[in-house]
Amino acid sequence: MALSCMRCPAGAAARRAAAPPLSPTAAVSFARCGFGRSAAGGGCWRIQAVAPQGVKAPMDANVKNAVTPTTPPKVENGSPSEITLDEFEDLSGLSKNDDSTVSITVVGASGDLAKKKIFPALFALYYEDCLPKACHFTIFGYARSKMTDAELRNMVSKTLTCRIDKRENCSEKMDEFLKRCFYHSGQYDSEEHFIDLDKKLKQHEGSRVSNRLFYLSIPPNIFLDVVKCASKSASSVNGWTRVIVEKPFGRDSESSAALTRGLKQYLVEDQIFRIDHYLGKELVENLSVLRFSNLVFEPLWSRQYIRNVQLIFSEDFGTEGRGGYFDSYGIIRDIMQNHLLQILALFAMETPISLEAEDIRNEKVCAMLQQQL
Ligand SMILES: NC(=O)C1=CN([C@@H]2O[C@H](COP(=O)(O)OP(=O)(O)OC[C@H]3O[C@@H](n4cnc5c(N)ncnc54)[C@H](OP(=O)(O)O)[C@@H]3O)[C@@H](O)[C@H]2O)C=CC1
Ligand SMILES: O=C1O[C@H](COP(=O)(O)O)[C@@H](O)[C@H](O)[C@H]1O
């Protein structure tokens, strides 16, 4: 992957300058660790980052704190996110605007990810009032399988949970949410079928500004077919159109670049959202708060005080139907260079100048350029 450090903020540069001369880079190694409970492939992966030789650990004597304290970045509601607050408000704020609607099409709605994660996550957003009020948002499931709206709702209802603390009016909220879910069956490479979807979306959107989001919960080999058809036949004419792309984003640098080039035939970069669900995990989100807003840890988070870091990915079940996928794609590509390296980057990066996605991304790139794999 070609990485370049776009912009290292002044704060970061100052911290680097204040630190003792760098012995070049931290060394990162990957290891398969002991099997978990299941002999069928459960277990864990470990990324180990070791501070450069000669760096003293916290317990070593005479280590001076050469870290220049920096201003902690703004943290909204205690949970910084790769989505800026402005973008977040793009969705929730629509509820205040009677002229706008948002339509979310889950492409591959009959699949595992849609059932297990996407619909429950959309419901959680609805429950938390982060989606526009009921008549201003519509969710369409799209896949080849034949299903009625009622069948989709039945399927989705089985995985919705009230995992939110308050749990008030949860079943009422579920009913309201499910009423906003619809289904359209179609082929992934048929413009005609996407035209039909467009017609259905328009019926729900009426004459209001229509913002449209397509969530690609499908195998990667059909990403481009869908993006082509959706952008040609079902993109918004008066609002925004965005696409969420699930991993894997290719199997290597070349195929990842080819995928991006393919997507850019139909979309501009700002319309493309590559998702890594690990960044939404509470533990991972809390890492930034711990690092940048905690006065105890912030000055200690340096190679002078930390000798060895281990990120352990551990699952207590076996391959569970993923055998074919792991055989052809590989478990390393499944979790290592995405989820685990994202965590490593968040762990190792310097303080970003803001919590804007671009600023965090740039700092992650800088951190990755310092690694020696
Ligand atoms: N499942 C998970 O936990 C995770 C999945 N992902 C990624 O998300 C995407 C979706 O995952 P998941 O739901 O598990 O995938 P599925 O294999 O369940 O596929 C989703 C849907 O796509 C359609 N489909 C499947 N195979 C093909 C094919 N060869 N050609 C055309 N259509 C096909 C099927 O719908 P129909 O036949 O009705 O058209 C299926 O229901 C994948 O890219 C996956 O790598 C990422 C993170 C986690
Ligand atoms: O992306 C993936 O992540 C899951 C682990 O995520 P979790 O949220 O369920 O902990 C992993 O099992 C799967 O193989 C991988 O594709």
Would 6 be classed as within a structural domain? no
Burial (Cβ within 10 Å: 0-12, 13-18, ≥19) of residue 159: middle
| Ligand 1 contact, 251 CB (< 6 A) | no
Give the global pTM.
Answer: 0.79
3-class SS of residue 318: coil
In ligand 2, which atom is closest to the CA atom of 331? 14
Same domain, 241 and 293: no
Q: Are residues 125 and 225 in the same domain?
A: yes
| Mean pLDDT, residues 181-190 taken together | 98
Distance from residue 346's CA to the centre of ligand 2 (Å) = 19
Q: How confident is the model at residue 99 (pLDDT cuts 50, 70, 90)?
A: confident
- The reply to whether 52 and 113 lie within a common domain is no
Answer whether residue 253 is part of any domain: no
Q: Does the pLDDT at position 239 exceed 70?
A: yes
**Cα 186 to Cα 169: distance, rounded to the nearest angstrom:** 35
- Stretch 143-169: mean pLDDT, rounded? 88
Same domain? 300 vs 208: no
The better pLDDT of the pair 22, 308 is held by 308
β-bridge partners, 275: 246
Please check the confidence at residue 163 and state whether its pLDDT lies above 80: no
pLDDT at 338: 92
Query: Is residue 167 domain-resident?
Result: yes
**pLDDT, average across residues 287-315:** 91
Share of the chain above pLDDT 90, in %: 55
CA atoms within 13 Å, Cβ hemisphere of 235: 14
Residues 124, 39, single domain; the answer is no
Identify whether 339 is a catalytic site residue. yes
Q: Is residue 259 predicted with pLDDT exceeding 60?
A: yes
Shared domain for 263 and 287, answered yes or no, is no
Q: Does the beta carbon of 247 lie inside 6 Å of ligand 1?
A: yes
Residue whose Cα lies nearest atom 41 of ligand 1: it is: 111
Same domain, 197 and 325: no
Instruction: Give the three-state DSSP class for 241.
Output: strand
89 Cβ below 6 A of ligand 1: no
Question: Does residue 134 sit within a domain?
Answer: yes
User: Closest by alpha carbon to 337, among 266, 251, 263?
Assistant: 251
105-114, 152-161, 163-172: segment of lowest average pLDDT: 163-172
Q: How far is the CA of 116 from the centre of ligand 1 (A)?
A: 12
Q: Same structural domain for residues 106 and 235?
A: yes
Q: How confident is the model at residue 304 (pLDDT cuts 50, 70, 90)?
A: very high
Extract the tokens encoding 54.
């000669």
Residue 262 predicted with pLDDT over 60:
yes
Calpha distance 226→241 (Å, rounded):
14
First to last CA, the chain: 13
Task: Check pLDDT > 50 for residue 364.
Answer: yes
Q: Are residues 158 and 295 in the same domain?
A: no
Listed in sequence order, the residues at least 6 apart from 125 whose beta carbon sits closer than 8 Å to its beta carbon are 91, 131
Q: Pick from 245, 278, 282 the residue to mutate for probing ligand 2's pocket: most ligand atoms within 8 Å of its CB.
A: 278
Q: What is the pLDDT of residue 51?
A: 62
Residue 39 falls inside a structural domain? yes
Q: Is position 78 within any domain?
A: no
CA–centroid distance, 332 to ligand 2, in Å, is 12
Helix, strand, or coil (residue 319): coil
169 within domain boundaries: yes
State whether 322 and 364 are in the same domain.
yes
Centroid of ligand 1 to alpha carbon of 225 (angstroms): 14
Please give the Cα distance from 181 to 197 (Å, whole number).
14
User: Does 338 contact ligand 1 (Cβ within 6 A)?
Assistant: no
Predicted confidence (pLDDT) per residue in 7-64, tens digit: 444 444 444 444 433 333 456 666 655 433 343 445 566 666 666 544 433 333 333 3
Which pLDDT belongs to residue 280? Answer: 87
Note the pLDDT of residue 5: 52
Is 250 among the domain residues? no
pLDDT for the residue 348: 93
Q: Positive or negative CA dihedral for 256, 258, 262, 265?
A: positive
The tens digit of pLDDT for each residue in 218-235 reads: 999 999 999 999 999 999
110 and 208 both lie in a single domain? yes
Q: Is 200 in the same domain as 322?
A: no
Instruction: Output the pLDDT for position 43.
Output: 57
Q: Which domain holds residue 287?
A: 12-67+279-372
Q: What CATH number does residue 144 fall under?
A: 3.40.50.720
Number of domains in the chain: 2
**Active-site residue, from 136, 184, 193, 339:** 339
